[in-house]
Amino acid sequence: MVKFAILTDIHGNYDALTAVLDDIDSRHDIEHIYNLGDNIGVGHRTNEVLEVVTNRDDMTYISGNHDEAIMAVAHNEPYPESLKNKFYEHHQWIVEHLDTKYYNFLDGLQREVTQEIEGLNFYFTHYRILEENMKQHISEDPFEPIIDPSLEHVHGLFNGIDADFVTFGHNHVLHHFDDIETIYFNPGSVGLNNGAYAVYGIVEVNNGAINVERVKVPYDNQPFLDGFDEKDVPGKQLIFESFI
């Protein structure tokens, strides 16, 4: 039997991240953690989040669109037009406060991981990128458009991925669908929820069966909310209206 955790879309929320990791560590039977990207951006505790995740020795990392867009700003590279009117000023602020010691980590994040676990095939990503777009720069918007959370839509989104289990993030709502051949799972965002809780997933693989649990962890989210005003974070109105 193998048991591992899936977390995604931390989005600079250090308090939510530590609540989730404390819950994972308290269980003592979770062997590994898959972090599906968007570690930073939107939230404001960038360096604290990166310090925590980079100090883990039990975590596999995936790149998210915010991670990549922020590094495009950091390197004075082209920036995605789809985000320019929403997050460019905010991402500039993130870069101004980002410790350069994390540049190599963020630049080295991979976009997909495939792994065989207990004889079953698992596919980990932030969101679908077609194979022909896998090497495109973030400014070319390689990620597919977000679809509504239904089995039909998710099956179509990941058409061509040969896996028993496909897990992803990006869209911050729960997806848990089983089309007989493939299980699709997105636990939802660790850091951006409309309430004082964080979410992550636990997957147990045992004798050819895959069991999935979504865990909601309560935490005090007031310091996270207050930090936007205390630090004068750009884009607060859009962030609160869209994500919190």
d(CA 176, CA 187): 8
Over residues 50-71, the mean pLDDT reads 98
Q: Is the pLDDT of residue 32 over 90?
A: yes
- Cβ neighbour number for residue 166 with a 10 Å cutoff: 24
pTM: 0.96
d(CA 144, CA 100): 30
Strands laid side by side in the 197-206 sheet: 59-61, 32-35, 2-7, 197-206, 209-218
Four-CA torsion 66, 57, 22, 38, nearest 10 degrees: 10
Residue 119 has phi, psi (to 5 degrees) of 80, 0
What pLDDT is recorded for position 179? 81
Instruction: Express each pLDDT in 190-233 by its tens digit.
Output: 999 989 999 999 999 999 999 999 999 999 999 999 999 999 99
Q: Domain extents for the chain?
A: 2-243
What pLDDT is recorded for position 244? 84
Q: Is the pLDDT of residue 77 over 90?
A: yes
Q: What is 2-243's CATH topology?
A: Purple Acid Phosphatase; chain A, domain 2 (3.60.21)
Instruction: Express each pLDDT in 126-177 by its tens digit.
Output: 999 999 999 999 999 999 999 999 999 999 999 999 999 999 999 999 999 9
Mean pLDDT of the chain: 96
Over residues 40-62, the mean pLDDT reads 97
What pLDDT is recorded for position 243? 87
What pLDDT is recorded for position 180? 80
d(CA 47, CA 102): 8
- b/e per residue 88-114 (b: at least 16 CB within 10 A): bebbebbbeebeeebeeebeebebbee
In the chain, what percentage of residues exceed pLDDT 90?
Answer: 95
What pLDDT is recorded for position 83? 94
User: What are the helix (H) ranges across the chain?
Assistant: 14-27, 46-54, 65-74, 81-97, 103-107, 151-157, 222-230, 236-243
